[in-house]
Chain A
Amino acid sequence: MAVTAETVRTVARLARLRVSDDEIPALQEELTRILSWVDQLQAVDTTGVEPMTRVMPVTRAWRADEVTDGDCRDALLANAPQAVHGFFAVPKVIE
């Protein structure tokens, strides 16, 4: 199964990862190799086998519906690339 250049572009767009045209052939080859390698999973008979959804059989305990955190706006904004008036600031979204 060969990954096409178009597939690489689509996946990169979904992942919000800019990929330049000259990177595409190498990525195509790498993804094709890795996906062909993991394709051996298809040979395993998993009829009637549920996908694993938790590693340890633990049910979470209930807790009181109380606020246990908060009042930390400045700490949350401390690492923001840009913060204005107590908010995260981003480039213009609507032209």
Chain B
Amino acid sequence: MTALTELTLTAMRAGLAAREFSARELTTAHLEAAEAARALNAFITLTPDHALAAAEAADAALARGAAGPLAGIPIGHKDLFATAGIRTTAASRMLADFVPTYESTVTARLLAAGAVPIGKLNLDEFAMGSSNESSAFGPVVSPWRAGNCDEALVPGGSSGGSAAAVAARLVAAATGTDTGGSIRQPAAFCGVVGIKPTYGRCSRFGIVAFASSLDQAGVLARTVADAAVVLEAMAGFDPRDSTSLPEPVPPWSARLSADLTGRRVGIPVEYRADGMDEAVERLWAEGARWLQDAGAQVVDVSLPHTAQALPAYYVIAPAEASSNLARYDGVRYGLRVVPEGGGLMEMYEATRAAGFGPEVRRRILIGTYVLSAGYYDAYYAKAQRVRTLIARDFAEAFRVCDLLLAPTAPTGAFPLGAKSADPIAMYLNDVFTVPASLAGLPAISVPAGLDARGLPLGLQLIGRPLDEQGVLDAALAIETRAGFCASPARWWGDDSGPS
């Protein structure tokens, strides 16, 4: 029999429903796998007690025939979601000891659906980063390695722990958040599926805020069908989030279809950037052929303001971050540092200097600068005008096509430390993911091939607002044809493991 951790989430559901194995057995297998994978540093906190209690409840519900859609499914949560009674750190020293007294809407919905929370997953500090190296709890190491080389690679970021845990079979699926590519880029680097729904589909209530007009929760999973099932359980209107969409959640998983007859897929010509990895370019062309094979018509489209998306993002996101992170003042929760004899102002400044890491501080300073008197119009207002143009570009493109196909990232994963010294080189990782974030559009990354080093590459599909079905269907068509079944060779942990 296949190891329980190797099953897809869909196969786990079938096995649990048929009582081939219990939720407790499934949970124990994943807890052991997570325990044995400490070398990846994917988890900040493991929650075996919560997991086993949820598994017992799931087994009881399954026996009664009253199980929720995710009953007994082991999942992980990016440590940006508030979990009642479980430390929630945002991978920052600022929140190293923060234990929320309330539950985020997304994690509450997954609990209600019967999911089993294995633990809290590592990320870039406050979700700011593209390599998971800015975590105060140390970097996540990708389960993937290039060929026979044992050099440590980044898993991507900011949902790097989520992507690594799903790829390494430590969880069946994981929550993530995507502000400028933080679900899609790590999904691509780790060879898993990652979907960011339309802005407002999933409630932001209880998610530690980074850039509120961009932050959106989503899922990382091993197949498109698995991702659809989990997203369905997470999404939906929430009166506690003022930007939550009052729209019903369609049965995406039941309606999944790889038949794209009558659909038109646009190839944004401006995404053909210089310096794109040759394997990425080849895979992109291959992806277009797969979609044609599935019945779609492929057309070239233009998104004229693509080159301005990244600079606009790196004004808007830091501006919102500087405002959101003003709350960490040492007064109500989180770290407090009071210098000897210091007053309130000294406490604010010392607390924030000690609590925030370099990338977070850099973004707070940039954000404060672009919002300050005299610069607001030149930077922030200008960037928001450019953002309007970027959204218009997409609206124009969607007059002639239903979906867009693009690479997820310009290259595959890079070694730990390779881009740490140069913030702008790091920011360029997000060049293909940021535009859809600025426009609030649903987008997915699906693993589709390997680069010359044998590392995963992802293709990205971007859809119209609320057309998660469209991006899921096209991703399924690619998944079916790409036949991507590579998984990282297990180099971590002790093979004998705890039995």
Which of B199, B315, B364 is close to A17, meaning CB atoms less than 8 Å apart?
A: B364
Say whether A56 contacts B331, CB under 8 Å: no
Give the Cβ gap from B180 to chain A, nearest Cβ, in Å: 13
Label chain B's interface by main secondary structure: helix
Is A50 at the interface (CB under 8 A from chain B)?
yes
Q: Which residues of B sit under 8 angstroms from A16, Cβ to Cβ?
A: 326, 329, 345, 348-349, 352
Cα(A65)–Cα(B367), bound, Å: 35
Is A67 an interface position by the 8 A CB rule? no
Of B332, B335, B379, B381, chain A has the most CB atoms within 10 Å of the CB of B332
Interface contact B424-A17, CB-CB below 8 Å:
no
CB contacts under 8 Å to A, within B307-328, are 307-308, 311-312, 314-315, 322, 326
Roughly how many angstroms separate A30 CA and B379 CA in the complex, as a whole number? 17
- Is the C-beta of B342 less than 8 angstroms from some C-beta in chain A? yes
Q: Tell me how many residues of A have a C-beta within 8 Å of chain B.
A: 51
A55 within 8 A of B: yes
Q: Cβ of B200 < 8 Å from any Cβ of A? A: yes
B171 to chain A, nearest CB (A): 27
Residues of A within 8 A of B382 (CB): 41-42, 44, 46
CB-based nearest B residue for A72:
B101
Residue on B nearest A39 in the bound complex, by CB: B311
B77 interface residue (CB < 8 Å to A)? no
- CB-based contact B365/A56 at 8 Å: no
A80 and B314 contact, Cβ closer than 8 Å, known pairs A27-B365, A30-B362, A60-B242: no
Given contacts A18-B350, A51-B388, contact A38 B199 (CB under 8 A): no
- Please report the number of residue pairs spanning A and B whose Cβ atoms sit closer than 8 angstroms: 164
- The answer to whether A52 has its CB under 8 Å from any CB of chain B is yes
Q: Inside 8 A of B348's CB, which chain A residues have their CB?
A: 16
Residues from 361 to 390 in B contacting A, C-beta threshold 8 Å: 361-362, 364-366, 368-369, 372, 378-379, 381-389
- Docked complex Cα distance between A2 and B99 (Å): 42
Asked if A15 is an interface residue, CB under 8 A from chain B, the answer is yes
Kindly state whether residue B344 has any CB partner on chain A within 8 Å: yes
Name the residue on A nearest B216 (C-beta): A55
Q: Are B314 and A18 in contact (CB under 8 A)?
A: no
Q: Is B347 an interface residue (CB 8 A)?
A: yes
Across the interface, which residues of B come within 8 angstroms of A61, CB to CB? 246
A72 and B348 CA atoms in complex are apart in Å by: 26
In the assembly, what is the distance between CA of A91 and CA of B333, in Å?
15
* Complex contacts, B198 vs chain A, CB 8 Å: 56
How many angstroms from the CA of A17 to the CA of B326 in the assembled complex? 10
Q: How long is the Cα–Cα vector from A58 to B214 in the complex, in angstroms? A: 15
Nearest-CB residue, chain B, relative to A57: B465
Most buried by A among B200, B348, B385, B440: B385
- Judging by beta carbons under 8 Å apart, are A51 and B330 in contact? no
| Interface core residue of A17, A19, A35, A44 (most chain B CB under 10 Å) | A17
Contact for B245 among A17, A40, A52, A58, CB less than 8 A? A58
Q: Is the CB of A37 within 8 A of B424?
A: yes
A75 within 8 A of B: yes
CA distance A55 to B465 in the complex (A): 10
Interface residue? B447 (CB, 8 A): no
Q: Is the CB of B336 within 8 A of A11?
A: no
Chain A residues with Cβ below 8 Å from B213 are 54-55
**CB atoms of B365 and A12 under 8 A apart:** yes
- Known contacts A16-B352, A17-B352, A79-B333, A31 near B366 by CB under 8 Å: yes
Residues facing A in B88-145 (CB within 8 A) are: 98-102
**A-B residue pairs, 6 tightest by C-beta:** A51-B384, A81-B336, A79-B333, A55-B440, A18-B349, A46-B385
Chain B residues packing against A (C-beta within 8 Å): 98-102, 198-200, 213-214, 239, 242-243, 245-246, 305, 307-308, 311-312, 314-315, 322, 326, 329-336, 338, 342-350, 352-353, 356, 361-362, 364-366, 368-369, 372, 378-379, 381-389, 391, 423-424, 439-440, 465
Interface residues of A (CB under 8 A from B): 3, 7-8, 11-12, 14-19, 27, 30-31, 33-35, 37-42, 44, 46, 49-56, 58, 60-61, 63, 72, 75-76, 78-82, 88, 90-93, 95
